[in-house]
Structure 1
Amino acid sequence: MQDRWFTDYEPSERWPHYTRANAGEVMPSPVTPLCQKFTWDEGIIHGAAQGSCRASLYEPHEYDPVLPEIFGFFGGHFYINLSNVRMQGVRNPAVTVEQLDTAFFGDHPDVPPYVEHPDDAKPHLTDSIMAHLGWIMTRTDWPDLLDDRDHVNQVRNERPDLSTLSDAELVERARSTLPDLVWGFDQHYMSSSSSGVAPGILGVIGEAIGDATIPMRLLAGLGDVDSAAPSHALWDMSRKIRSAPSLMALFDAGVDGLEQRLRSSGEPAAADLAADFDAFLHTYGSRGPNEWEISAETWETKPSLVLAMLDRVRHQDDDESPQRRAQVRAAEREALADEVRAKLAEIGNDELSGQFEAALVAGNFMVFRERTKTNIIKTVHEGRMVFRELGRRHAEAGNIDDPFHIFMLVSAELDDFVADPASFGDTLAERDGQWRQLADLVPPFIIADGQVPPLSDWPRRGDSGVQHAAAGDVLAGLAGSPGVYTGRARVITDPGDPGALGPGDVMVAPNTDPGWTPLFMTAGAAVVNVGGQISHAIIVSRELGLPCVVSVEGATERIPDGALVEVDGNAGQVTVLEVPVEVPQ
């Protein structure tokens, strides 16, 4: 193992602290060279820098024009620049560095203290920052995002038959997505950085009236969440399966070979379901586990991922529909809002009452954030499909050993690869072997003062010595979605293999993204290893009415599969009530 990966960044001298907090949720695995150098270094990071300046928090001259110091890649793993993020607490009068750190880390002991830099304070930005806050707290809609959605959908609808394009045309098509990656993440930065305003204000309101659950309960049932839309479509398909004995029989035979059985059945119900399935893949095929990584399988590239989830959801009772759950949450939210208004009126604090109403409006950015993410993920996917085709044809031609090896290229090599693909075969195979070794390493949670430990010092996965929790143990995390629920834990590390997850089980996952969302319809509660206050698991759990606790360190290792657990989404705790006798203590 080399002491650094060949695509790693040099740590920033100006902003030297980095963190895997939130980054581990976005990209949990080592990033392929092509994904980093093409999708991120040439596209996404420039959009992030632009968005941060558009939000008035930073100035363009503060960033390196080639690699803006907003993210980082070390040991092939994705990091967020903590020092850079902290400027939001320094420059925004409504937020403090301490509040930002709490939202990111809680009381994690490894977080380096904030030390002021002469260039941190930017008092001349205050007026524009406050104007931006005013925009956030009055934004009931954002029509530009609908225009963006129409555009990315058009790009998908007009995708040509990639197998008919020349290698050079494929590369050109991939490069044509770069402006959309920049703009898409510019918008996503705007929505993401703004989505923390509502929880922060509502937290103050909760303290004032003595109810700490106020933020999570008032940010549930918002409706029109793009990342939840596939769940509604899958639910409708699952009802068709559940009501048709012939379809139930097809699924009862197992997920392996299911798609072929479905398409060759000849039954009208099967033909109808297959048509729905094709429409689903066209509309939502960009989604899947680890969807920011262009080499990752998605619902379009591996439809069995969807079928595996459908197989679980079909067992759920009709009265557990996501539509009904969302309606219940929305009604609870409206009733709670009225209760809070009444309590604030009793207090007689007009300023707090005004802030409360503004926070309710700012809550729309939870919805906007999921929309901007959906839009950019569709753009990422168009690049993915191009490179998969390039890899497929050159593996068939014998120029590379495996189609996946195409993702071991870096963007600067694409033209040379097109000119002489066979000359890259050995290099890409060697890189692939080295890249896979990175997945065996545990990346540091914090990189402080620009000091990146050599890869030879990183611990290996499985060497942590983590012990299963025993009956009575309480695992602490971050309160995500309210409610208390008791059920059997099902540890799932791959959404395409949900195993024994059944209706009402507690889903325990390492991280979640929209590729996991359908499984939330089966679960009674969710527990996740990582995540912050606006993480995907929290947003979806609130929409579907599931208690949820995130940032439970090592949950998938510590909670035995099959254990009886109590998930307290109000307190952010998971209590192990009973463990299977076959699990050693």
Structure 2
Amino acid sequence: MRGPARMNPKEHDEIMPPGAQDFRYSARVGGAIWPAARAGGKANGLHLLVRQGFDVPPAFCILSDAFEQALACCVHRVESLDELREKLLGFELSEELVAEVDAQMRAIEPGWPASADSLGWAVRSSALDEDAAGHSFAGQQKTVLGVQTRDEIFGALREVWASLYETGAMLYSDGLTLGGKPRSMAVVIQRMIAPGCAGVMFSQNPLSAEAEQIVVNAAKGMGLQVVEGGSAQTYYLEKSSGYVEGYESGDGAGDEATAKPLLDEGQLKELAACARQLEYTFAEPMDIEWAYAPRAVSASSARAESAHGIRPTLYLLQARPITTSAKPAGAAPAPVAAVWTNVNVGEALPGVATPLTWSIIRGFSRLGFERAFGSLGLEVPEDYELVGAFRGRIYLNLSQFMSIASAIPLLKPQTLFEMAGGGDIAALDGNYEQRDSREFLFRLPRTALKIAASQLTTPLVAPFWSRHFKDWRDQYFEQDLSQLSHLEFRDKLDEIDRVFARTGLVMLACSSNFLMSYVLMREAMRLWAGEESAGQEQTLLGALDVESAQAGYDLMELGRLARRSHRLRNAITDHAPGEVLGVLRGLKGHDDVDGFLAAFARFRQLHGHRAPREAELATPRWREDAGFLFEVIAGYIRAPRLPSARELERVRAQARAQVRAEVERFFPAGISGVFRGLLRLTRAQARQREVMRARVVDSLDIYRRYFLECGRRLVLQEAIRQPEDVFYLRVEDLQNWLYNMSSATDLAIRVLVARAMHEANAALPDPPDTFVATGQRIQDAHKFEASDPRAPVHAQSLDEIRGLPGSAGRVTGRARIIRDPNKDAYLEPGEILVAPYADIGWTPLFLIAAGIVTSLGGPLSHACIVAREYQIPTVVNAQGATERINTGDLITLDADRGIIYIRERA
């Protein structure tokens, strides 16, 4: 090895100029011309080692161009990643590539492939994402060892290519983003050696903060058990001298002091010098695969060298930055633990999101947090990712959220938890940064003026914008998007983006105003009436006459209409929900059917933008799929009786009277008037929030229609197979295509990968609702004591589940588990609906149910607002409810206290 020379690892990053060498698809590792951008992490690492003078077994790289050519031929009309892998495994290589591989191998081993005494070859992945500084993705793609024949070489090449699309490897590298695709694949073909021992070395201890300690793992032979996590000898070396500070035999013999080490003092010092040089050269801690082997090129020569006692040579097989290590002084800090939760955001967008939905929601949520904190005079740091995806599910970074909010003096974390729907507050201890309040207090006068201005102007702006939005929406749906030119169609997305952004900002302003008024109202009650008033704020927000409750009332009117006609009753209850609309259309000409269909069309005109899980763009809306609606109407028909509109209004009037009574109970005459004014403001803002939330859902329906037209056009371009594939792309992919139609060439593989990832994530169990993550490692955050009312399943009574009050009342009935109402929304009148979540699209079911239980959600959720409107007892955030309760169980909801009692098992 020659002396150390510090270098820039990208110094060979040039693309080969035409004519620079004879080969198009391959390059010799260590050669003068090196196309780093097409060689991948592993090949680049080997190349740099050779250029620095280290001993590396001879190798060459098949560049990513060859893989991309094969992929382009195989991906067309493929329906799954399994099918794509099969096509890659059977792909016929071009004559030019075959000739290049033959030439490269003969240059390394002149007798190949005739030599029967060859040590063989290793065929290894060198994906373009592999062995990077941030992520190594070690061991995620295929490695084929001991390859001898020509056919085996090309078969191994295809195997390595196909391994890029193994679902497990893609789940490993998915991280916090959805909708990406694996980068291209290069392949290293390297002559094998015959090591006496081999292993892995870290230039600093990867498990501790000890930067001056080298860790060497060693095993006999090729050292496979080391890289595969098996037993091995471990040496702890002082970095500066190579002195052995500790030794573990790893053989289970019990007496480590008597185990014979595989490495002698000279080899350990040589390894330490190698580690020092690599760390200096690359200016960061390194993870190094090494082997001591003869310099022989054949098996017989290797045996001869060993027999004559010739000292083996130190070979380096791989070098990459350590991705799990404590960093040296001055480097970026190691990943810190963060608390993530979906207790509240999971109700807004439950389950696994498609890439298209995630790419829009992510940007909108960022804007939302910036606006919300900005209204309080706080800033969201640029490097904060307040919302992320784990296993495809959306989570809030509670540590970052609390770090920002901690600058507000007197604001207790518990207050935020209660408003957001609860969670394990103990998990935050030591996992967020307590900010200085001085900057907040300095800005407070200006912040107070901004808050006052928002409180005054938003009630005027929101109704105006809502009316404008409706006019624009109606004109949009009258347009035939398929008749627009590509340029007109592209510009239409910009228009939709502007409307969506404006609608979102108005909705966020309404939400912020409501939350501020709600906190003032709640704290006023607690300061005056004490803890006796705790929980009464939910009663005070009942019977609001919110727009989001109207869909349930209107659908009940359709149910009432259907109950009057024997023909309608039979058509709706005797057929599958998805078939009913077609059956009714076949019965046109009868007055009862015609009247019902006209009323149903009016319903869909008003509420057709809604659906269960309506924040997901891939979800068909009620205007597209009427199955859910007829399932609910069938429930109305089965009900013993339906309350009349007058009865429903009487119930709401009683609820409003209860609100007045609660105010009079807690406040004396002189103060009650002031509090009633604050309560009227809070209730008005809650109504306005629901109106603007409906406009945002309308916007998502507008996006859905636009993107489906994108899908139709991409199908005509033969870029994807069906219009619905568009939901597995990101919005930036579609924007690129709109401005450059030729960019559609890689959309098919993006769809295949994203769909496979979506299905794989959906098959995985949900992560804990609250967990602590360090990098990509997830640890359940629950640390409750048995006496804690929010205790998890194992710490509670088997017959009792605790949640949070959502809508007051107490009821007993049989449970009905519904997980996805788009697939099955059957509910018998009087049953208690138990669901993982419930958004506005679920709420027509509420009018059939005797009570509601959800595993996610908070008391200020939109579904809770509607449940209080309907005066239906509701418990939310009842963790584990859908697992512990079975359909048919007799349960009691004490929604005043947020407790569910299991009385009798089905």
Please list, as runs of the form range in 1=range in 2, the aligned pairs for 1:256-271 lying within 5 A after superposition. 256-266=578-588, 267-271=590-594
Q: In the TM superposition, what is the alpha-carbon distance from 1:399 to its structure 2 partner?
A: 3.5
Partner of 2:615, secondary structure, is: coil
* Alignment equivalent of 1:445, drawn from 748, 751, 769: 769
Identify the structure with the greater helix proportion: 1
Give per-residue Cα distances to partners, 1:14-71, cap 9 Å, x unaligned. 995542121111111222222222x234555335423542x33424xx443xx87443
Select 1:165's aligned residue among 484, 488, 505. Answer: 484
Contact 2:510 2:685 in 1 (8 A): yes
The residue number in structure 2 matching 1:24 is 346
- Verify: 1:8 aligned to 2:177, yes or no: yes
Q: Residues 426-449 of structure 1, C-alpha deviation per residue, up to 9 Å, x if partnerless?
A: 33222211222122332353465x
Letter in 2 for 1:146: P
Alpha-carbon distance in structure 1 between the residues aligned to 2:761 and 2:859 = 29
The letter of the residue matching 1:385 is R
Question: 2:600: which partner in 1?
Answer: 277
Residues 106-159 of structure 1: CA deviation (Å, up to 9, x unaligned) = 3626631354134785112323444566678x7798232222222222232112
* 1:240 CA drift (Å): 0.9
Instruction: State how far apart, in whole Å, the 1-side matches of 2:832 and 2:391 are.
Output: 33
Instruction: Tell me whether 522-531 or 408-417 shows the greater mean CA deviation.
Output: 408-417
Cα distance in 2 for residues equivalent to 1:502 and 1:140: 46
Code of the residue aligned with 2:559 in structure 1: it is: S
**Which has more radius of gyration?**
2
1:461 is matched with none
Contact 1:250-1:261 within 8 A present in 2 as well = yes
Correspondence 1:144 to 2:144: no
Moved more, 555-564 or 116-125: 116-125
Q: Contact 2:407/2:437 (CA < 8 Å) preserved in 1?
A: no
Structure 2 residue 631 is matched with structure 1 residue 308 = yes
Shifted more, 303-312 versus 566-575: the winner is 303-312
Pair 1:279–1:21, CA change in 2 (3 A) = same
Structure 1 stretches lacking a partner, 5+ long: 459-465, 581-585
Q: Which one-letter code corresponds to 1:258 in the other structure?
A: V
Alpha-carbon spacing, 1:560–1:157, altered in 2? closer, same or farther (3 Å): same
The aligned residue for residue 511 of structure 2 is: 192
Query: Using the alignment, how far apart are the partners of 1:375 and 1:50 within structure 2?
Result: 18
Sort the Cα spacing of 1:330 and 1:199 in 2 relative to 1 into closer, same or farther, 3 A. Answer: farther
- Tell me the distance in 1 between the aligned counterparts of 2:335 and 2:373: 19
CA contact (8 A) 1:480 1:547 kept: yes
Percent identity, aligned pairs only, is 24
Residue in 2 that maps onto 1:325: 648
Of 81-90 and 20-29, the range deviating more from structure 2: 81-90
- Given candidates 854, 874, 877, the residue that maps to 1:528 is 854
Aligned to 1:583: none
Does the CA contact (< 8 Å) of 1:490 and 1:505 recur in 2? yes
Are 1:183 and 2:352 matched, yes or no?
Answer: no
CA contact 1:291–1:298 (8 Å) conserved in 2: yes
1:462 corresponding residue in structure 2: none
Deviates more, 1:89-98 or 1:304-313: 89-98
Counterpart Cα distance in 2 of 1:379 and 1:78: 20
Change in CA separation of 1:118 and 1:69 when aligned onto 2, cut-off 3 Å: farther
Equivalent in the alignment of 1:231: 552
Which TM-score applies when normalising by structure 1?
Answer: 0.85
**Aligned residue among 727, 749, 752 for 1:429:** 752
Q: Is the 8 A contact 1:139 1:364 kept in 2?
A: no
CA distance in 1, matches of 2:793, 2:366: 39
**1:296-445 paired onto structure 2 within 5 Å:** 296-316=619-639, 319-321=642-644, 324-325=647-648, 327-345=650-668, 354-355=674-675, 357-395=677-715, 398-417=718-737, 419-420=741-742, 421=744, 423-441=746-764, 442-445=766-769
Q: Would the alpha carbon gap of residues 531 and 239 (structure 1) be closer, same or farther in structure 2, given more than 3 Å must change?
A: same
Judge which range, 26-35 or 415-424, deviates more. 415-424
Residue 616 of structure 2: aligned partner: 293
Q: Which has the higher contact order (CA 8 A, sep 6+)?
A: 1
Is residue 512 from structure 1 mapped to residue 838 from structure 2 by the alignment? yes
Per-residue deviation at 1:501?
0.9
Q: Identify the match of residue 71 of structure 1 among 387, 390, 413.
A: 387
Tell me, in whole angstroms, the C-alpha distance in 2 between the residues paired with 1:102 and 1:43: 24
Tell me the secondary structure at the aligned position of residue 689 of structure 2: helix
Q: Equivalents in 1 of 2:761, 2:675: separation in Å?
A: 47
Secondary structure (helix, strand or coil) at the match of 1:314 reads: helix
- Alpha-carbon deviation of 1:353? 6.6
Q: CA separation of 1:422/1:258 partners in 2, compared to 1, >3 Å: closer, same or farther?
A: farther
Residues 183 and 327 of structure 1: CA distance in aligned 2, closer, same or farther (over 3 Å): farther
The counterpart of 1:46, out of the listed 341, 348, 367, is 367
Deviation at 1:571, TM superposition (A): 0.7
CA contact (8 A) 2:663 2:672 kept: no
- Shift in CA distance, 471/96, structure 1 to aligned 2, threshold 3 Å: closer
1:575 to 1:564, Cα distance in 2 relative to 1, 3 A: same
Are residues 469 and 12 of structure 1, via their aligned partners in 2, closer, same or farther at CA, if it must alter by over 3 Å? closer
Q: Structure 1 314/132 Cα, relative in aligned 2: closer, same or farther at 3 Å?
A: farther
Query: Which consecutive unaligned segments of at least 5 residues does structure 2 have?
Result: 1-167, 179-332, 781-791
Q: Which is richer in strand?
A: 2
Superimposed CA distance per residue, residues 83-123 of structure 1 (whole angstroms, 9 cap, x where no aligned partner) = 45436854556743331123335362663135413478511
Q: Which 10-residue stretch deviates more, 532-541 or 556-565? A: 532-541
Contact 1:47–1:183 under 8 Å retained in 2: no
Alpha-carbon distance change, 393 to 264 in structure 1, aligned in 2, over 3 angstroms: farther
After superposition, the Cα gap between the structure-2 partners of 1:82 and 1:181, relative to the gap in structure 1 and judged at 3 Å, is farther
1:478 to 2:795 alignment? no
- Could you tell me how far 1:396 is from its partner in structure 2? 6.5
- Alpha-carbon separation, structure 2, partners of 1:499 and 1:411: 32
How far has the Cα of 1:289 moved from its partner? 1.8
